[in-house]
Chain A
Amino acid sequence: MPVRIEKAFQVQQPIDKVWGLLSDPRNVAGCVPGAQITEAVDDRTFKGSVSVKVGPSVTNYKGDVHFERLDAAAHEMELVGRGQDVKGRGSASMKMTGRLRSLPDGGTEVETVAEVNVVGILAQFGGRVIHDVSDIMFGEFTKRFEQQLQQTAAPPAAAVAAEPAAAAPPAPEPEPVNAPAIFLKALRAAVARFFRRLFGGSH
């Protein structure tokens, strides 16, 4: 059940800075709601999991994210994430492409396209909601990415480490991951609140 979603937004940040974040695998992965990076296979491939909660229904996917393309010159990237339901009832994949355009005012336009494909029992019984759910999740992804761009203070990778129960990824590159514990706590709470709001208790 393939779904295609396009989102574009503008930020008051120079294109190179934006590209720095968009081309940072852990950062991008960290912006996917419910996602956890559990292991870095190489600097372009990561193992991880995504938890998708729709009302009373929760599905946990385990799989990997791979950056198919990182074109610094063109400011274009493409990543493919694939995961299988841990209960063996299907799989989900997402191909995401991102393209940056610098704006006359020095800002940057971020264009992203996600092609989500769900296979298995969710695609059989959840057909009527898959589009809306994908749209909401991808919307949240872009929102978080924007937030990352705003908060220059904390290095983006923090978000990755901040994910609940995420094993700290073996840093593939020198840049150390050390954000103050207090910040992590705050972010955790924020994420938890967000999920309650987004998918929380219904009878």
Chain B
Amino acid sequence: MIPPPFEYARPTTISDAIALLQQHGEDAKVLSGGQSLIPMMKLRLARPAFLIDINSIQGLAGIHEEGGYLKIGGLVREADIESSELIRSKYPAIHDTARVIADPLVRSLATAGGNLAHGDPANDHPATMLALGAEVVATGPNGVRVIPIDSFFVSIFTTALEPAEILTEIRIPIPPPNSGGAYFKLERKVGDFATAGVAAQITVDGNGACQRVGIGLTNVGPTPLRAKKAEESLRGKKLDSAAISQAAELTAGESQPSSDLRGPAEYKRGMVKELTRRALTRALERARG
């Protein structure tokens, strides 16, 4: 309940924040929403010597479309995503995701950026961002670089961010017409990590064939996973129940769950299959409008 001591700084510019990160190296941690980090510190499972609170940096809290992308600033809170009309109407998978993350109190502070940057395979946004083919904008000593989401999640609790980099924006390509997405999370109760979660994003053409598809998985592997084989199986296909079931089967095969209190691996694989079915079906309904 009582965090260990640390030094604290609240820079007001990105460059100051990065300078501090360079100065303190491995001992420093970035504090954004803090809803993952602070609980770990309270249990003394995390002991950063230096916290860099980026919440006072201006210009990271916006949600808007620009240049073919939906841009979510690094400090946008889950609650803002949940209540964004733009996201609810055009990016339903992200809306689905935001509203099942932790609980309403956590969502007041938690940020989508932190949800990705924490690198926790149990976090929900990664699956959705994988499905949407998002990009992560990282700002560091050498300026800004854009990391495709597929290469962002390196290992358990490990992302492609360099120690002195800060996640400043998430970019989601604006989906073409006839697109739809959905996120299904199975949880033991409100506030729990997913037993399993599946995000699906699809685009269909005039005669209902699948043009574009993305499937992302939560908490069924050491990192957030993308079900590539399943996606492959759907491309160009008509999304009938047979195709969806086959994709669900493949997705389950691509998941790598391990047993824990949420259930045995076999159950989780079964849930990946079931939730994939549901996510694809809902995504299709939404794509058809």
* A residues lining the B interface (CB < 8 Å): 54-58, 87, 89, 121-122, 125-129, 131-133, 135-136, 196-203
Would B158 and A198 count as touching, CB distance under 8 A?
yes
Q: Which residue of A lies closest to B161 (CB)?
A: A201
Asked whether any CB of chain A lies closer than 8 Å to the CB of B246, the reply is no
Would B222 and A128 count as touching, CB distance under 8 A?
no
User: Within the assembled complex, what's the spacing in Å between the Cα atoms of A168 and B3?
Assistant: 36
* B residues lining the A interface (CB < 8 Å): 26, 29-32, 37, 40, 43-48, 113-114, 117-122, 154-159, 161-167, 193, 219, 221-222, 258-262
Would B26 and A131 count as touching, CB distance under 8 A?
no
Would A200 and B158 count as touching, CB distance under 8 A?
yes
One of A121, A131, A198, A201 near B155 (C-beta < 8 A):
A198
Would A135 and B158 count as touching, CB distance under 8 A?
no
Tell me whether A201 and B43 are in contact in the complex, defined as CB-CB below 8 angstroms, given that A54-B156, A128-B262, A136-B222 are known contacts.
Answer: no
User: Dominant SS at the B interface?
Assistant: loop
Tell me whether A132 and B258 are in contact in the complex, defined as CB-CB below 8 angstroms, given that A197-B154, A200-B163 are known contacts.
Answer: yes
Q: Which residue of A lies closest to B115 (CB)?
A: A203
Would B40 and A57 count as touching, CB distance under 8 A?
yes
Chain B residues with CB under 8 A of A89:
44
Chain B residues with CB under 8 A of A87:
44
One of B40, B47, B48, B222 near A132 (C-beta < 8 A):
B222
Query: Which residue of A55, A121, A199 has the most chain B CB atoms within 10 A of its CB atom?
Result: A55
One of B114, B156, B262 near A136 (C-beta < 8 A):
B156
Would A133 and B156 count as touching, CB distance under 8 A?
yes
User: Within the assembled complex, what's the spacing in Å between the Cα atoms of A202 and B223?
Assistant: 13
One of B44, B120, B162 near A201 (C-beta < 8 A):
B162
User: Within the assembled complex, what's the spacing in Å between the Cα atoms of A57 and B119?
Assistant: 13
Chain B residues with CB under 8 A of A121:
43, 45
Would B118 and A203 count as touching, CB distance under 8 A?
yes
Chain A residues with CB under 8 A of B164:
201
**Besides A54-B157, A56-B48, A122-B45, 11 other CB < 8 A contacts?**
A54-B156, A56-B40, A56-B157, A57-B46, A126-B45, A197-B154, A198-B158, A199-B155, A201-B26, A202-B161, A203-B37
Would A197 and B158 count as touching, CB distance under 8 A?
yes
Q: Which residue of A lies closest to B114 (CB)?
A: A203
29 A–B contacts from the bound complex (CB under 8 Å): A55-B120, A55-B158, A56-B29, A56-B37, A56-B40, A56-B157, A57-B45, A57-B46, A87-B44, A121-B45, A127-B260, A127-B261, A128-B258, A128-B261, A128-B262, A131-B258, A131-B260, A133-B156, A136-B156, A197-B154, A198-B154, A200-B162, A201-B26, A201-B163, A202-B119, A203-B31, A203-B37, A203-B161, A203-B167
